[in-house]
Amino acid sequence: MKKKKREYQKLESEGFELLITTPGVFIGKTRRGISIREKGIKRHEAPLLNLKNISILSRGVAISSNVVEYCAEREIPIDFAGFDGKPYAKIYPLQSAPASLGIAQLKAFENGKAHILAKAFVLGKVRNQINLAKYYNKYRKGRDEDFTAIFDERVNSMESLVKEAKSLHEKDLEILRGKLFSIEGRASSCYWELVEKMLNDDVEFEGRLRKGATDLVNALLNYGYGILYSRIWEAILKAGMNPYISYLHKPQDRKPTLAFDLIEEFRQQAVDRAVFAMITKGEELKIEKGFLTYDTRKKVAERVLERIHTVEVFRDNEMRLSQIIKIQANATGEFLEGKLSCYRPYIGKW
């Protein structure tokens, strides 16, 4: 029964996403769905019934205003991303955010809620790093000597860092941020060392790089994070919050830094797990001149979105990770407004 249920859930989620990865196509609307035409020839038609998002991951794509209007009326976002996966634009219906929530976001810097959220985002990230490492350890005991040789020591170090973060009571937010980033950096060092040991039989990986990465693993991760980032941003907008007011990350001009905050809880379960599975299963993945190839970008997008729509148990309820992202964004706003007494980060199971 469980297997059949999972198969049905996966089948249902296949209609959620429309990925456009071919240059030069035209996206139009018909009575039955969203059509993709190349040089006037229909290549694909996506049914409208379960459509939740359109992602345009290629250049030279044209889109009909009828499609934009249809999506705006039903709050279906249209995302645009570059070769690196980083989103550069989003078409989303015009809406007004409640003034009370914007005021609550600003008051958080005075009433201590900014400090609580900053700590929670880091604790969520480190906890998820620990849990993903434990998940892989279940299957590598006795099989991967390099990984298991350092597993206990690195995870124990990360557990100690969780305790260190919980014990912080700095009143100055700048000082607190500095200490939290120190903890996050030390925990990530342990985590990525475990990842390097786990992947070393399949691919060369010398550590995590965010900007300017030209190796395959970092390029895969950065591309996946870009896709996740657009979904976090969307959840923040739907929750009615100002994405430019953030707590762990210092607000920066014209950067939606609240998305930088909230994404920390979801990197491991939404992207890392999908990317590591592709590598360890031997999928053909290529990088040329510092950029992922067309086929590789398409594979990463498909796997990450598949993972985002995977059902898991969250606080005793079955729901998709995409739903959990929205719940956590709403919970952030409700905590800021005083509707929730505390904010609990998302922690994935292992």
Domains and CATH numbers, the chain: 16-76 (3.100.10.20), 99-337 (1.20.120.920)
Neighbour tally for 222: CB within 10 Å: 22
CB 187 within 8 A of CB 238: no
Question: What is the rounded CA–CA span in Å between residue 204 and residue 188?
Answer: 19
Query: Which DSSP letter does residue 214 get?
Result: -
pLDDT reported for residue 12: 55
Burial label for 40, CB within 10 Å (0-12, 13-18, 19+), is exposed
Contacting residues for 267 by C-beta, under 8 A, at least 6 apart: 125, 128, 225, 228
Q: Which residues pair with 285 in a beta bridge?
A: none
pLDDT reported for residue 54: 94
Question: What is the rounded CA–CA span in Å between residue 12 and residue 24?
Answer: 29
Contacting residues for 4 by C-beta, under 8 A, at least 6 apart: none
Digitized pLDDT (tens) for each residue of the chain, 350 residues in all: 555 555 545 555 677 999 998 899 999 999 888 999 999 999 998 888 889 999 999 889 999 999 999 999 988 999 999 888 888 888 988 777 789 999 999 999 999 999 999 999 999 999 999 999 999 999 888 788 889 999 999 999 999 999 999 999 999 999 999 999 999 999 999 999 999 999 988 898 988 887 777 899 999 999 999 999 999 999 999 999 999 999 999 999 889 999 999 999 999 999 999 999 999 999 999 999 888 999 999 999 999 999 999 999 999 999 999 999 999 999 999 999 999 999 999 999 88
Q: How many CA atoms lie within 13 A of 245 on its CB side?
A: 18
Question: What is the rounded CA–CA span in Å between residue 109 and residue 168?
Answer: 17
Of 337, 343, 310, 303, the residue nearest 324 (C-alpha):
310
Contacting residues for 97 by C-beta, under 8 A, at least 6 apart: 240, 241, 242
pLDDT reported for residue 13: 61
pLDDT reported for residue 9: 56
Contacting residues for 104 by C-beta, under 8 A, at least 6 apart: 333, 336, 337, 338
Question: What is the rounded CA–CA span in Å between residue 200 and residue 244?
Answer: 39
Helix (H, G, I), strand (E, B) or coil at 320: strand
Helix (H, G, I), strand (E, B) or coil at 36: strand
Number of H helices, E strands in the chain: 11, 12
Helix (H, G, I), strand (E, B) or coil at 299: helix
Of 231, 258, 294, 224, the residue nearest 53 (C-alpha):
231
Q: How many CA atoms lie within 13 A of 18 on its CB side?
A: 25
CA 123 to mean position of chain CA atoms: 16
Query: Which DSSP letter does residue 254 get?
Result: T
Q: Which tokens is 283 given?
A: 């999928």
Contacting residues for 170 by C-beta, under 8 A, at least 6 apart: 115, 176, 179
Helix (H, G, I), strand (E, B) or coil at 279: helix
Burial label for 237, CB within 10 Å (0-12, 13-18, 19+), is buried
